[in-house]
Amino acid sequence: MSRFTKINFNFSEAVFLENWYPRFYYNPINKWLRWAGPENKSYIYIPLAENNNYQISFTIFYIMSPEILDSLSLWVGDTKIELDIQKNYHNEQLVTYQLKGIIGEHLISSSNPYTPLKFVFSQTIPMEISNHDGEVVEIQYVSFATDGLSIKPFNTQTTIAAWRK
């Protein structure tokens, strides 16, 4: 099994996922997205190389409620990753949230080739899925939609304060 030091993950790669809905293409923003849900924990298992600190970043394109954003946390094993959140206004109808954090090298297991990334949030909210005729064909319980994530090595000699600027 190959382990990586840098990953740009857009949900099309062959990795293990739990509690994510299938990818969908959203025309208004020309992006493939995936909703977290139906449970309030969603997992991505990434094969990260040992002996590296990593910066993780991801963008939330849609969030079902402000409470979900306030409660959102990222965990590696039993360790909560501190996330910085930046709100970005693209136009009147599109606001995104860029989230960044640091995964310490001590969290990367030598015995397990996959590092579990656990996204935890307070709730999911029912969303109606309609067919082309406008008929509701499914109800999905979702929290936030993202297009993937980026993980790259992070030099801890660089100060966190400089990184956050």
Contact 142, 35 (CB under 8 A): yes
- pLDDT score for 90: 86
Q: Which residues of the chain have pLDDT under 70?
A: 1, 14, 156-165
- pLDDT score for 160: 53
Distance (Å, whole) CA 21 – CA 37: 7
Q: What are phi and psi of 3, to 5 degrees?
A: -110, 150
**Domains, the chain, with CATH or none:** 7-164 (2.60.120)
Can you count the helices (H) and strands (E) in the chain?
2, 15
Which pTM does this prediction carry?
Answer: 0.89
Contact 9, 15 (CB under 8 A): yes
